[in-house]
Amino acid sequence: MLSVDVARGRVLEAIRDPLPAETRPIEATLGRVAAAEVRATTDLPPWDNSAMDGYAVRGAEIVEASEAAPVVLRVAGEAAAGGSAGPAAAPGTAIRIATGAPLPAGADTIVQVELTTPLNADGSAAGPRGGQAIGSIPASVAIHATVPIGSSIRRRGSDLLAGTVVLQAGVQLGPAAIGLVAGSGVSSVAVHRRPIVAVLATGDEVRSAGTAPEGSGIPDANGPGLRALAAAAGADVLDLGIARDRLDDVIERLRRGVAQADIVIVSGGVSVGPYDVVRAGFEAVGRIELWRVALQPGKPFAFGTARRDDGSQVLLFGLPGNPVSSFVTFEIFVRPALRRLAGHADPFRPSEPGVLMEPVTKGRGRRAYLRVELDRRPNGAPILDPGGRLQVRLAGARSTAGQGSHVLSTLAAADALAAVPEAFEDVPPGTEVEVFRLDR
């Protein structure tokens, strides 16, 4: 049996390149991975502009302004967002300005509208003090307090300069990255194509959703579960249905998957029983690269490859039929492969150090992935031990029995998988584990 690390290394080595890049409008890149670095095409902000609604002034002229002795400046014009900077602020004048409007020449300071009163030509108030800076431009403005020179100005390039790298290759586009790229003047981005993942369930006993499971039938958990895992990891998914435990049925569906998908996942039928025909199926459409991994749950795992007529490669994953085993082997092997195809620089989930709060037993020589819950405070925050490690306990049914590879309820209750090294058999409380938080 291969170790988890060796097997996963070989799966990833089989992927020479991520999927090809395509150029898409920035609006259509959520969840995609950048295929090349992206640089800003504009300074941000593109020009000096106002951070406030108010008046652009020469700061030196208002240093004496106070409640007792306001400074009155003639209002020579207006600078509006999206408009021109208005006339220059000549000595003794102010320019009414809106947030985001370009800074008028001559002005070096913005006084926010709250510190001003608009005045008529005869010096009477044209509106309330601190009123909104809307309506017709007042003849002049009284400034009731000083502000430091340079106040409320957002300088050109103070966020970033044209040419700055705003997105690295291999990084996934989230909402903030999309806002940054669009805001820095870039309208389209080269991103990798999304992987296409086809999922096939197998088993004479497995019934599709909505079919009454008469006799010894059981509802299909793995088809829907694996398609959801693939979609959550960034794939487009195809449903190859449920194959009977017959080689010809498996081969026919595998062929369909190989023709259409980058990854074909099969659940069940990969072990050594008389009806386990999936490995023979892989050999009919491609070849087996490795089989059997020292993993708990998930030992009967097979990985293969197939080639299409155009030379492109399809990855074949044979996962155990037990639903938790199929979930765990997806996490360990398929998700990193899928992310590598999608172009992610780092295909792995981050891990955090944790400490097991309960005793567990496992098979010696196999890496165990336990379904665990985090100890939490009433506000939901995880509790750390004095060493800063996450405190974890077996999820759901608080016993090793709940860790059986068929027990879906404890999988659904789990916050994370905790990896226990191969060497352990009886695992005492206090053992350090590597914790991988799951998408909930």
User: Which residues bind to ligand AMP, rule: CB under 6 A?
Assistant: 201, 203, 205-206, 218, 220-223, 267-269, 271, 273, 320-323
CB of 408 to ligand AMP, least distance (A): 8
- Chosen from Mg ion, ligand AMP, none, partner binding at 401 (C-beta under 5 to 8 Å by type): none
Chain centroid, CA 202 distance in Å: 32
**Contacting Mg ion (CB under 5 A), which of 18, 268, 304, 323?**
268
The CB-nearest residue to ligand AMP is 321
**Contacting Mg ion (CB under 5 A), which of 269, 281, 286, 354?**
269
CB of 235 to ligand AMP, least distance (A): 18
CB of 244 to ligand AMP, least distance (A): 12
Give whichever of 269 and 396 is closer to Mg ion, judged by the CB atom: 269
Q: Judged by CB under 5 A, does residue 45 bind Mg ion? A: no
CB of 211 to ligand AMP, least distance (A): 12
CB of 292 to Mg ion, least distance (A): 16
Q: Judged by CB under 5 A, does residue 203 bind Mg ion? A: yes
Give whichever of 185 and 363 is closer to ligand AMP, judged by the CB atom: 363
Give whichever of 160 and 206 is closer to ligand AMP, judged by the CB atom: 206
CB of 208 to ligand AMP, least distance (A): 9
CB of 237 to ligand AMP, least distance (A): 15
Q: Site residues for Mg ion, window 309-338 (CB under 5 A)?
A: 321
- Chosen from ligand AMP, Mg ion, none, partner binding at 218 (C-beta under 5 to 8 Å by type): ligand AMP
Give whichever of 224 and 353 is closer to ligand AMP, judged by the CB atom: 224
Give whichever of 268 and 281 is closer to Mg ion, judged by the CB atom: 268
Q: Interface with Mg ion by CB under 5 A: which residues?
A: 203, 268-269, 321
